[in-house]
């Protein structure tokens, strides 16, 4: 399966989006609770892929289908899968964070631990 059609943003672009408090955005982190305990970004709501059965059915009531939705994982593969699924659920403005939280730690905020 290819994820080449999913729009991606760099961690630099992510930092700019998070700094813009005027524009409504939704931030989703699909990493597992143990990963989030090591490193996290406060703006992101955590929806672990392993717990999909618990939150999957309510995704369209919990989040707005039209609002820009930014998805993050460790390196960008699981978040790409999530982006693909969100698009299939009717989300119209979804972006994957290229390089994930690992790149964010390296390029934006070294206070976010690497693992």
Of 11, 59, 73, 83, the active-site residue reads 73
Q: Is 83 a catalytic residue?
A: no
List, in order, residues 6 or more apart from 3 with CB less than 8 Å away. 80, 81, 83, 84, 96
* Spatial separation of the C-alpha atoms in residues 85 and 40, rounded to whole Å: 22
Q: How many CB atoms lie under 10 A from the CB of residue 11?
A: 22
Residues marked as catalytic: 73
């Amino acid at each position: 399966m290819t994820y080449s059609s999913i729009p991606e943003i760099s961690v630099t672009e992510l930092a700019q989006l998070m700094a813009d408090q005027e524009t409504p955005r939704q931030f989703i982190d699909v990493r597992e609770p143990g990963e989030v305990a090591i490193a996290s970004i406060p703006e992101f709501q955590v929806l672990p892929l392993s717990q999909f059965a618990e939150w999957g059915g309510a995704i369209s009531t919990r989040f707005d289908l039209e609002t820009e939705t930014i998805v993050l994982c460790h390196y960008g593969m699981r978040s790409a899968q999530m982006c693909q699924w969100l698009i299939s659920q009717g989300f119209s403005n979804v972006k994957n964070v290229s390089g994930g939280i690992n790149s964010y730690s390296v390029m934006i905020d070294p206070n976010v631990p690497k693992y």
